[in-house]
Every structure is written in structure tokens, then in C-alpha cells.
Amino acid sequence: MGTPMAGHLLAGGHPLFVYKRGPLPQSIAATAANLCTSPRTVAEQADVVFLMVPDTPDVEAVLFGDNGVASGLSTGKVVVDMSSISPIHTKAFAKKINALGCDYLDAPVSGGEVGAKNATLSIMVGGCEAVFARVKPLFELMGKNINLVGGNGDGQTAKVANQIIVALNIEAVAEALLFAAKAGADPMRVRQALMGGFASSKVLEVHGERMVKRTFDPGFRIELHQKDLNLALSSAQELGVSLPNTATAQQLFNACAAQGGKAWDHSAMVRALEQLANFEIGQQV
């Protein structure tokens, strides 16, 4: 997702200093972007440093590892983490960056690869309002629904909440379409009928179609949604909150992963339910 997001910043006329742990995508390498040899070099050159990496340990390594971002910062710069990671660790990272005289925003996104390519991401931001206002024009190059949720960590909390809703919505749509198909109805026509009622949702529209058409190329990989639900469940344990349906959704993702499906789109959760029913959507009764 970081590649199209970086491309939108370039298209907006901003000089870009980039570092990637693997080979730089050709779509960026062929532009005027300045390739840096480490996160530290990026921080030395840029006024605003964006991170987009998979998980909490990755963010910690990029920020505070050898030649990390923190070692290259100078007073007044802004670090923006757009990864989806632990809200609790985010608060600790922000304090460390603030101690260096710099500002920190957590700004995870929703919308997947399609949203990143189309610059239509939803961006949930935690941090100081003045810093948010400073960075918002850059966010607007990457997304459409941009909200300051609260202080540091609150953006990540909102993203975890988002992933709970999406996972449970996928599970509900999968159950409904599986039920309809097993009962002998055309699941695509059932989906179309439901789109006009109170059950309508983006998940029913997009992922319901994926389930019926069996198009499970990501999208958003199951292993990434597993990571997000792990954040939800571990944070809930610390908070003393029970999330029973989130735990069930995670078990269904785990079942898919056990079948070699970590890289499937998360709509493929339906496959775990199909295995329990010994019936596949679209199968003739």
C-alpha cells in the first residue's frame, strides 16, 4: 500500500525521500524520488516522515533500530505512522519521539490496496490538533475520509475497532450467503436483494461478490487481519473487556491459515465456514 501512497505525494508536487527494506518498486524508482540508504537518512532529509510497515515490531525497528528514524530527527520534524499496530506501543513510541523535540501522529488507514491506489483511504489520526492541521494537506493526497480521533494511540484504537467490525461483517455475510446457497437459492441474487435493505454494507457489496465468484486474490490478506485481531484481543485482555465474536472470527481466520490461506483475501473466511458445512457457495444441492 505504501507504493501508491508515496506516488500520490509525488504527484502532489512534494519532494520525496524514500527507503524500502526490499527492492524499490519501479513505479517509484522511475520518478524523481530520492532513494535513501536508511530510515535515518530519510529523517535527516524530510520534514515529515511517513511509515507504512506491517506490524508493531517493524515500526519499532524502523524508528529506534540501528540507523533508525529517531537517530536522524531534528527539532520540529513530524513522524507519521500509517501502519496498523498496537495502540499501547504507539503511545510509548510517541513519547520517545516527543522527547526528541519532534511531533508524532498515528494515522492508520482503511480501504485496502484499492483505496491506496485511488487515494480514497479512510485515515484515522491520533495526535495533537495543530500537528494534524499541518499534515492534513498531505493526508488529503492519499485519502478522503480523514478524522482526528484524539490523542496519540487513539488513531490505532479506531483502526482496531474498524477491523473488529469488518471481520464480524465478513463472518455475517459469509454465514448468510452460505445459508442461502445451501437452501437452494442463488446466492448472487440473494446478495443483490439484500443490498437494498437494512443488511446492506460495503462488505456485502464487495466481499459478498468475491465469495460467490470465488475471487480470493487480495485485497487484504488474511494474515494481516489476523494480526489486527490479535491486537484487538490482546488489548481487550489488558482492558478486561470480553470480545467473544472477535475471538470467533479470529478462529475462522486461523482455520483458513491452517489450510494454506494466509495470503488469501480476508473474504475467504467463508471457506472455513464452508468446510464446517461440507458445502461450497455456488454448489448445486
pLDDT per position in the chain (285 positions), as tens? 889 999 999 999 999 999 988 887 888 878 888 999 999 999 999 999 999 999 999 999 999 999 999 999 999 999 999 999 999 999 999 999 999 999 999 999 998 888 999 999 999 999 999 999 999 999 999 999 999 999 999 999 999 999 999 999 999 999 999 999 999 999 999 999 999 999 999 999 999 999 999 999 988 999 999 999 999 999 999 999 999 999 999 999 999 999 999 999 999 999 999 999 999 997 755
Tell me which long-range contacts 124-127 makes (C-beta under 8 A, separation of at least 24).
124/149, 124/155, 124/156, 124/158, 124/159, 124/162, 125/149, 125/155, 126/90, 126/150, 126/151, 126/152, 126/153, 126/154, 126/155, 126/156, 126/157, 126/158, 127/94, 127/103, 127/151, 127/152, 127/155
Instruction: Give the list of residues 6+ apart from residue 45 with CB closer than 8 angstroms, or none.
Output: 17, 34, 36
pLDDT, position 99: 98
pTM exceeds 0.85 for this model: yes
pLDDT, position 144: 95
Instruction: Give the list of residues 6+ apart from residue 219 with CB closer than 8 angstroms, or none.
Output: 112, 113, 210, 265, 266, 267
pLDDT, position 284: 55
CA-based nearest residue to 254, from 229, 234, 282, 237: 229
Catalytic residue among 91, 159, 213, 227: 159
Q: Is 159 a catalytic residue?
A: yes
